Amino acid sequence: MATDSKFYNRLDFMTNFFILNVIWLIMCIPVITIFPATAAMFSVIRRWVLHKDGGAVRPFFHYFKENLKPGLLFGLIWGSLFALFYADYMLIVQMESLQIILLPLLLLIVSLFLFTTMFLFPVMTHYQTSWKGIIRNSFLLSIAYFPTTLLAILILGLALSLLYLWPVTFLFIFSVCAYCIFRLCYRVFLKVEEKKEKEAA
């Protein structure tokens, strides 16, 4: 019975990944809801990691509603920055004499943008702070814990590669990727909290 119980618990856990992934995909269809939906997915995963419960559907829609406004704000900010980076790139490639200077500079800025993005949703769902605080903390943590940032990027790249090679993985790959990234970031959060406790002692 104990073995069967473990088996069904694991099966239930994997099923929740599939359900969460499908709900996320559906809620991303309007495009403008990608950020609120992703924030909701990370919030559900946070509940799993903290062992609050293993549900997916009801918590997702609760967090989706909760993160709708801030998610739309971050979607606007991140979308605008992405468009700006693309416009800058298109402009720089036409400036042959300055490419050697401007392209590396743009690459550096885009890299910092990517680093910050790796921590953005974990920070947004784990801490109660302003949108400026979320961006600042995500940036600082991504630099202070750079190996974790690189590992998160590697996980994202691996997930996208699997999706490209085996498109059927779209049924679960996004939620699994989010889970792995949050677990990495959560370890950082624990280290930060432990460090603060030692400094306060």
Amino acid type, 121: F
In this predicted structure, what is the pLDDT of residue 36? 96
What are the sequence ranges of the domains in the chain?
A: 2-200
65-106 residue pLDDT tens: 999 999 999 999 999 999 999 999 999 888 877 888 889 999
Q: What average pLDDT does this structure show over 24-52?
A: 94
In this predicted structure, what is the pLDDT of residue 12? 79
Question: CB count, 10 Å around CB of 140?
Answer: 14
Cα–Cα distance for residue pair 153/155, rounded to 1 Å: 5
Question: Confidence band (pLDDT; 50, 70, 90) for 27?
Answer: very high
Distance, first Cα to last Cα, the chain:
47
Residue 42 · residue 123 · CB < 8 Å: no
In this predicted structure, what is the pLDDT of residue 4? 55
In this predicted structure, what is the pLDDT of residue 176? 96
Cα–Cα distance for residue pair 115/182, rounded to 1 Å: 14
Concatenated DSSP letters of 53-106: ----HHHHHHHHHHTHHHHHHHHHHHHHHHHHHHHHHHHHTT-GGGHHHHHHHH
Question: Confidence band (pLDDT; 50, 70, 90) for 2?
Answer: very low
Question: Confidence band (pLDDT; 50, 70, 90) for 1?
Answer: very low
Residue 129's SS3 state is coil
Give the mean pLDDT of the chain: 92
Rg over alpha carbons for the chain, rounded to the nearest Å, is: 19
Tell which residue, 147, 82, 86, has the closest CA to residue 117. Answer: 82
100-144 residue pLDDT tens: 888 999 999 999 999 999 999 999 999 988 999 999 999 999 999
Cα–Cα distance for residue pair 60/117, rounded to 1 Å: 21
Q: What average pLDDT does this structure show over 15-41?
A: 95
156-186 residue pLDDT tens: 999 999 999 999 999 999 999 999 999 999 9
Which residues, including other chains, have CB under 8 Å from residue 151's CB and lie 6 or more apart? Answer: 184
Cα–Cα distance for residue pair 12/131, rounded to 1 Å: 35
In this predicted structure, what is the pLDDT of residue 52? 75
* Predicted structure pTM score: 0.91
